[in-house]
Structure 1
Amino acid sequence: MSVSVRIPTILRTYTGGESEVSAEGGTLAEVLEDLDTHHSGIKGRIVDETGELRRFVNVYVGNDDVRFLDNLATPTPDGAQVSVIPAVAGG
């Protein structure tokens, strides 16, 4: 399944400045693996050492936060939009 992945500004150094890239995979985990194959190192900024999503990174498939779905096992249908959004803190 081919999906479109929106890349936040802070991670665009991994994608050569591209704000949106394509990746393949039937689940979010597979999409992140494929993304890392073509943009080495980016997956490590999205998932932690235990293989879970980093605490301050939000990932959406379509309009749905994957933390409220199946996390990395969330299906990524063909043509889906995956958005990686770093959490913003402040006061």
Structure 2
Amino acid sequence: MSVNVRIPTILRTYTGGRAEVPAEGATLAEVIASLEDSHPGIAARVLDDEGRLRRFVNVYVNDDDVRFEGGLQAATPDGAGVSIIPAVAGG
């Protein structure tokens, strides 16, 4: 399955400045692996040392938060939009 991944500004150094990149995979885990193959280093910014989504990184497939759709096993249908969004904190 081919998807389009929207990259936040802070991670664009891994994608040569590109705001959106293609990736392959039927699940979010496969999409992240595809991203890592094409853009080395990006997976470590999205996944923690145990291979789970980082606590302060939100990921959406289309408009669905993957934390409620199976996490890394969330389906990524052909043509889907995947958004990586770092959480913002402060006060």
Quote how far apart the aligned CAs of 1:65 are. 0.5
> Unaligned regions of 5+ residues in structure 2, if any?
none
In the alignment, the residues of structure 1 paired with residue 30 and residue 23 of structure 2 have an alpha-carbon distance, to the nearest angstrom, of 9
In the alignment, the residues of structure 2 paired with residue 9 and residue 60 of structure 1 have an alpha-carbon distance, to the nearest angstrom, of 16
Name segments (4+ residues, structure 1) moved above 4 Å: none
Q: State TM-score, norm by structure 1.
A: 0.99
Structure 1 match to 2:75 = 75
Equivalences, count: 91
Quote how far apart the aligned CAs of 1:59 are. 0.2
Q: Which amino acid aligns with 1:49?
A: D
Quote how far apart the aligned CAs of 1:20 are. 0.1
SS in structure 2 opposite 1:60?
strand
1:1-91 paired onto structure 2 within 5 Å = 1-91=1-91
In the alignment, the residues of structure 2 paired with residue 76 and residue 69 of structure 1 have an alpha-carbon distance, to the nearest angstrom, of 11
Q: What are the Cα deviations for residues 4-56 of structure 1, in whole angstroms up to 9, with x where unaligned?
A: 00000000000000000000000000000000000000000000011100000
Quote how far apart the aligned CAs of 1:64 are. 0.5
CA RMSD of aligned residues (A): 0.3
